[in-house]
């Protein structure tokens, strides 16, 4: 297990090294196996290259329109919980699921909101059960596991997940057919070239690349639908919780937002990029509440650390959560202090000290998407609401099921500004 920048730098000398995933991820192979987060070697390189355009700069402008729309819907839901201490994470989760669905798939979430949210829960129950298996010597055995009642339940969940992603593909194909049947070219909206969503790219690849197995489509969709929204939910909920304890940070943020935006319903990426203090607040949230608590990699070759050799093929667990909370790396590490990320204070800090999106060529493909989404939502919330102090005795009960969560939720008491 590695949780210090000094050792990370020794092991990862080059950004393209040690990108292979460990056996840990085998437990997820039935739903994510052929997706980008698990595959390795030339398949990973090809897939990453093919999918990267779905996150290019030009796409982010379009995504930001969706962030604004779903953000305004979230504010409407918040109107119903004013003046009470309420766990905000389920509200944020339905908003981030909608955002991911509309931006990554290019489909209308409202056509089937209950089904979409049910999928979001089912896939996490499935992943939770996989994690239980990893940590149970008996359940790890495929042979013994197949004899347990849980296996049957897990198979039912798997079928539900596959039905959901297959229905998405059918819907998209129908839409594509309809578009080509209209007198408008498939690739244009009123003469403007339409940008391809991730789902368009996946389906196009499947048409032209004979080597891609059918399961690739479902497993790649599940990869993005899972990676894309629970992470954002986790960090945004924890930031709101911290802000309720730091009125000074809220007010400083409010002043910055008010000085930049002209219309709270339409916050542009230019506005967002101009918010320097916002950047510090979000980064401090990602430090203290890193949604991806750990990642695992396999060593490509023998590595020498402090006179000992770690052999090629060893599984390395990079414990991001601990690294970000280490007193050796951050002074007063447990304090929520956005000023740590001010230009003056980051000077000289080791880049490996802050890795919420991992690092190197196999970092998070959606990190820019995530950053703009979090900032857009946070700007809307802070512009409209204050977070009132919580009861003194409340203490978060954090745990990780791959993503950082809290057993007693992330309570916030909102009041209108």
| DSSP string computed for 235-286 | HHHHHHHHHHH-HHHHHHHHHHHHHH-S-TT---HHHHHH-HHHHHHHHHHH
First-to-last C-alpha distance (Å) of the chain: 46
- What is the nearest approach in angstroms of ligand HEM to the Cβ of residue 371? 8
- What is the nearest approach in angstroms of ligand HEM to the Cβ of residue 151? 26
- Site of interaction with ligand HEM (CB under 6 A): 36-37, 48, 100, 104, 223-224, 227-228, 231-232, 235, 291-292, 295, 356-358, 362, 364-366, 369-370
- What is the nearest approach in angstroms of ligand HEM to the Cβ of residue 100? 6
- What is the nearest approach in angstroms of ligand HEM to the Cβ of residue 109? 15
Distance CA 154, CA 133 (A): 11
Residue nearest to ligand HEM (CB): 366
> Six-digit token pair at 267?
């916050």
Contact 327, 266 (CB under 8 A): no
- What is the nearest approach in angstroms of ligand HEM to the Cβ of residue 19? 8
Closer to ligand HEM by CB, 102 or 271: give it. 102
Contact 370, 232 (CB under 8 A): yes
> Six-digit token pair at 321?
């959560």
Closer to ligand HEM by CB, 131 or 390: give it. 131
- What is the nearest approach in angstroms of ligand HEM to the Cβ of residue 97? 11
Closer to ligand HEM by CB, 66 or 227: give it. 227
Distance CA 369, CA 56 (A): 9
Closer to ligand HEM by CB, 161 or 227: give it. 227
Cα radius of gyration rounded to whole Å, the chain: 22
Closer to ligand HEM by CB, 403 or 412: give it. 403
Closer to ligand HEM by CB, 303 or 323: give it. 323
The set of residues, in sequence order, having a beta carbon less than 8 Å from that of 140 and lying 6+ positions away, is 133, 134
DSSP 104: I
């Amino acid at each position: 297990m590695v949780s210090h920048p000094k050792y990370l730098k020794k092991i990862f000398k080059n950004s393209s090294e040690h990108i292979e995933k460990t056996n840990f991820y085998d437990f997820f192979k039935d739903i994510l196996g052929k997706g980008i987060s698990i595959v390795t070697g030339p398949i990973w390189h090809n897939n990453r290259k093919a999918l990267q355009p779905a996150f290019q700069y030009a796409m982010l402008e379009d995504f930001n329109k969706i962030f604004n729309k779903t953000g305004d819907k979230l504010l409407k839901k918040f109107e119903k919980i004013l003046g009470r201490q309420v766990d905000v994470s389920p509200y944020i989760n339905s908003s981030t699921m909608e955002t991911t669905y509309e931006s990554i798939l290019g489909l209308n979430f409202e056509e089937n909101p209950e089904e979409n949210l049910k999928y979001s829960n089912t896939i996490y129950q499935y992943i939770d059960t996989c994690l239980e298996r990893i940590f149970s010597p008996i359940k790890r055995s495929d042979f013994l596991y197949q004899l347990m009642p849980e296996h049957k339940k897990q198979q039912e969940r798997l079928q539900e997940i596959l039905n959901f992603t297959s229905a998405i593909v059918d819907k998209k194909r129908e839409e594509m057919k309809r578009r080509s049947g209209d007198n408008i070219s498939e690739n244009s909206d009123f003469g403007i070239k339409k940008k391809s969503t991730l789902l368009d790219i996946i389906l196009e690849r499947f048409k032209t690349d004979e080597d891609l197995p059918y399961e690739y489509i479902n497993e790649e969709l599940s990869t993005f639908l899972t990676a894309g929204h629970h992470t954002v939910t986790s960090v945004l909920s924890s930031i709101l919780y911290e802000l309720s304890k730091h009125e000074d940070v809220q007010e400083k943020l409010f002043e910055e937002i008010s000085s930049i935006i002209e219309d709270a319903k339409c916050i542009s990426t230019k506005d967002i990029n101009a918010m320097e203090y916002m950047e510090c607040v979000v980064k401090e949230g990602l430090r203290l509440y890193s949604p991806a608590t750990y990642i695992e990699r396999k060593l490509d070759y023998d590595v020498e650390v402090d006179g000992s050799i770690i052999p090629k093929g060893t599984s390395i667990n990079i414990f991001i959560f601990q690294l970000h909370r280490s007193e050796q790396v951050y002074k007063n590490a447990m304090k929520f202090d956005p000023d740590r990320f001010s230009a003056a204070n980051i000077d000289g800090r080791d880049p490996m000290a802050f890795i919420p999106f991992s690092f190197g060529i196999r970092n998070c493909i959606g990190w820019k998407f995530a950053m703009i989404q979090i900032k857009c939502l946070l700007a809307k919330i802070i512009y409209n609401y204050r977070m009132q102090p919580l009861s003194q005795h409340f203490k978060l009960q954090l745990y990780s099921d791959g993503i950082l969560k809290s057993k007693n939720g992330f309570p916030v008491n909102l009041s209108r500004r």
